[in-house]
Structure 1
Amino acid sequence: MQRVYGVDIDAVARGDVSLAQAAALAACLPPGSLCLAREDERYGWSRQDMLLLAIANSLRTEPIDPFKGPNVMEFSPEELGEYLARPRTAAENGGDA
């Protein structure tokens, strides 16, 4: 939110910005914002990125789909639930697994 609105998240903790204001700002983050990209990589693409890809795809015989490929995992809702329910292992050095 700091990059887009100039609002530091610490301002919420200090009480300078209310939680309701921060939630309203977060709900209106534009495509390309880092917060949205953490939730879903497709939202990490700015409008400029999407337009440039559309231009590149208009010149190609086989369009590029950046969200399909060997590193993309696709699940049905049931498969996703099963995948998320699997036990997790602790990461080395105290990080998240």
Structure 2
Amino acid sequence: MIYMAVGELTIEGALENYAPHRDLYVEFSAYNHVTSDDPPLKMSHGGDMTLPSKSAGHGIHHPVYDVKMKEKADSVGQKCHLAIPRTSETTYRSTNGFLKEKLLN
């Protein structure tokens, strides 16, 4: 889908024409906008860490992205909680519990 956001007709076209769209790709990624004053973040993901990705959907929603987001958050001092089976644990068992604690306290 990202290729359509930059006006390309195919993913192949987006890859061939990466340079003209690079600034938009950078802007699209939440990773590039993480700062210490962001609110706490909780991410949870399935445990399929297979690389390369098995499909486009697996690649777009790959748990390695969440790992990298946590590393970035940690590096700037943003609170980040990540749950990936067999990879990363958090004290928050549910997103609702996380939201209730952060919004009501």
Normalising by structure 1, we get a TM-score of 0.27
Greater relative contact order: 1 or 2 (C-alpha under 8 angstroms, separation 6 or more)?
2
Q: Which has the higher helix share?
A: 1
- Considering only CA atoms, is the larger Rg found in Structure 1 or Structure 2? 1
Higher strand share: 2
